[in-house]
C-alpha cells in the first residue's frame, strides 16, 4: 500500500512540476527570476502581471492561438473524412492485401518532416498557399492520415463482422452500417485520432516555420518562440505564460478521456 502511494505521489510530482514551474514563472518579476541567490521555487518579490501584458499586448498571441485552433479543427476534419473510410475499406473489403497496404501506409508516416519540407515547400508555392494557414492545413494530413488509418484499422478489425452482417440483414446498406453502427462503436478510436491529430498541429514546428512568415498568420508553436526570443533575450515570463495557456486545455481533454484514449491505443497496438 505504501509502495503504491509513493509511486503515485512521485509520478504526480514529476508530472505536475512543469505546470507549477510555468505558473510561477508567469507571475514572477524578471529581477526575481534572474537572482540566483533566491529560492527558485517560491515568489521572493511581489507577483506581477507584466509578462501577461507583454504577451497579450505586444504580440499577436491570441491570433496565433486562433490560427492554431482553426488549423487543428480543419486537419482533424480532413483526417477523419479520409482515414475513416480508408481504414474501414482496408480492414474489411480488400482481403489479404488490406493488411499489407495498411502497413505500407503506416510506413509513410515514418518519413521525417526534415526530409520532406523542401519538396513540400515547392508544392505549397505551386498551390499559392505560402504564408497562409492553408499551407499547413494541406500538409499536416499527409502524416496524420497514415497514422490514423493504421490506428482505426486495428479498431475496425476488433469489431465482429457478424455485427455488420446483422445490420445489413436488419435493413441497412453497407455504407449505412458503417455510419450508424461501426462509427458509434468506434468512438474511442475516433477520439484517439482527434486528440492525436490536434496535438500534432499544436506542436509541429518545421513546416509551420518554413511555410508561414507573416506575424499575423503564425501558428502558436512558431509565433511564441519567434517573437518572445529577441536576439539573446528570452522573455521567460511571457514564454511560460504562452506555454501554460496553450497546454492546459489539451492536458484537460487528455485527462477527461484518458480511459478511452488508452483503449484506443491498445486496440490499435494489438491488432
Partner 1 sequence: MAVVETRGLTKVFKEGQLGAVNNVDLVTREGEFLVFLGPSGSGKTTLLRMIAGLEQPTAGEILIGGNVVNHLSPRERRIAMVFQSYALYPHLSVYNNIAFPLKAQKIKKELHREKVEWASSLLGIGGLLDRKPRELSGGERQRVALARAIVREPTVFLLDEPLSNLDAKLRASAREDLEQFHKRIGTTTIYVTHDQVEAMAMGDRIVVLHQGFVRQIGTPKEVYDDPADTFVATFLGSPPMNLLESDDVVVGFRPEHFLPADRLREGSRIPLRFRVTYLEFLGAERILYGSLAGSRFEEKEVLSRLPAAVSEAFQVASVYDFGVASESLRFFDRQSEKRTQPKAIAWQ
If the CB atoms of residues 37 and 96 are measured against partner 1, the closer one turns out to be 96
If the CB atoms of residues 105 and 181 are measured against partner 1, the closer one turns out to be 181
Q: Contacts with partner 1: how many residues (CB under 8 A)?
A: 18
Q: Name the β-bridge partners of 230.
A: 233
If the CB atoms of residues 62 and 163 are measured against partner 1, the closer one turns out to be 163
Mark 165-204 with x for binding to partner 1 (rule: CB under 8 A) and - for no binding: xxxxxxxxx--x---xx--xx-x-----------------
If the CB atoms of residues 4 and 161 are measured against partner 1, the closer one turns out to be 161
Q: How far is CA 152 from CA 21, 139, 221, 265, 271, in A?
A: 37, 21, 28, 10, 10
Q: What is the DSSP letter of 129?
A: -
Q: Is 215 in the site for partner 1 (CB under 8 A)?
A: no
Other CB atoms within a 10 A radius of the CB of residue 122 amount to 9
Minimum Å gap between C-beta 173 and partner 1 is: 7
If the CB atoms of residues 124 and 167 are measured against partner 1, the closer one turns out to be 167
If the CB atoms of residues 23 and 185 are measured against partner 1, the closer one turns out to be 185
Minimum Å gap between C-beta 192 and partner 1 is: 17
The CA distance from 84 to 184, in Å, is: 12
Minimum Å gap between C-beta 167 and partner 1 is: 7
Report residue 230: phi and psi, to 5°: -110, 110
DSSP string, 202-235: HH--HHHHHH--SGGG--HHHHHHHHHEETTEE-
Q: Are strands 233-234 and 229-230 parallel, antiparallel or unpaired?
A: antiparallel
Minimum Å gap between C-beta 181 and partner 1 is: 6
If the CB atoms of residues 53 and 180 are measured against partner 1, the closer one turns out to be 180
User: Given CA atoms 77, 78, 81, 82 in this order, what sign does their dihedral have?
Assistant: negative
Minimum Å gap between C-beta 164 and partner 1 is: 9
The span of 37-45, 80-88, 94-102, 158-166 binding partner 1 (CB under 8 A) equals 158-166
If the CB atoms of residues 46 and 161 are measured against partner 1, the closer one turns out to be 161
The CA distance from 208 to 185, in Å, is: 35
Q: Do 218 and 208 touch, CB atoms closer than 8 A?
A: yes
**Helices (runs of H) and strands (runs of E) counted in the chain:** 16, 2
Other CB atoms within a 10 A radius of the CB of residue 124 amount to 23
Q: Which of residues 3-62 bind partner 1 (CB under 8 A)?
A: none
Please select the residue that binds partner 1; options are 163, 213, 252, 262, rule is CB under 8 A: 163
The span of 61-69, 146-154, 159-167, 240-248 binding partner 1 (CB under 8 A) equals 159-167
Please select the residue that binds partner 1; options are 95, 160, 214, 231, rule is CB under 8 A: 160
Q: Do 245 and 65 touch, CB atoms closer than 8 A?
A: yes
Interacting residues with partner 1 (CB under 8 A):
160, 162-163, 165-173, 176, 180-181, 184-185, 187
Amino acid at each position: 500500500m505504501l509502495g503504491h502511494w509513493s509511486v503515485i505521489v512521485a509520478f504526480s510530482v514529476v508530472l505536475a512540476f512543469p505546470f507549477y514551474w510555468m505558473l510561477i514563472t508567469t507571475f514572477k518579476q524578471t529581477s526575481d527570476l534572474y537572482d540566483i541567490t533566491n529560492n527558485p521555487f517560491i515568489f521572493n518579490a511581489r507577483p506581477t502581471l507584466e509578462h501577461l501584458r507583454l504577451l497579450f499586448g505586444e504580440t499577436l498571441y491570441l491570433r496565433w492561438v486562433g490560427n492554431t485552433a482553426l488549423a487543428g479543427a480543419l486537419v482533424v476534419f480532413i483526417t477523419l473524412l479520409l482515414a475513416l473510410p480508408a481504414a474501414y475499406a482496408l480492414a474489411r473489403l480488400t482481403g489479404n492485401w488490406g493488411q499489407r497496404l495498411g502497413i505500407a501506409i503506416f510506413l509513410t508516416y515514418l518519413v521525417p518532416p526534415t526530409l520532406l519540407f523542401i519538396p513540400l515547400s515547392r508544392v505549397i508555392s505551386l498551390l499559392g498557399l505560402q504564408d497562409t494557414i492553408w499551407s499547413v492545413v494541406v500538409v499536416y494530413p499527409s502524416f496524420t492520415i497514415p497514422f490514423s488509418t493504421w490506428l482505426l484499422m486495428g479498431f475496425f478489425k476488433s469489431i465482429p463482422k457478424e455485427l455488420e452482417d446483422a445490420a445489413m440483414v436488419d435493413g441497412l446498406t453497407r455504407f449505412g452500417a458503417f455510419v450508424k453502427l461501426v462509427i458509434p462503436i468506434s468512438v474511442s478510436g475516433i477520439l484517439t485520432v482527434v486528440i492525436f491529430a490536434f496535438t500534432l498541429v499544436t506542436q509541429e514546428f518545421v513546416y509551420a516555420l518554413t511555410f508561414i512568415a507573416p506575424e499575423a498568420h503564425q501558428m502558436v508553436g512558431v509565433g511564441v518562440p519567434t517573437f518572445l526570443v529577441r536576439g539573446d533575450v528570452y522573455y521567460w515570463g511571457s514564454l511560460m505564460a504562452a506555454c501554460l495557456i496553450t497546454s492546459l486545455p489539451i492536458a484537460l481533454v487528455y485527462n477527461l478521456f484518458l480511459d478511452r484514449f488508452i483503449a484506443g491505443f491498445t486496440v490499435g497496438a494489438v491488432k
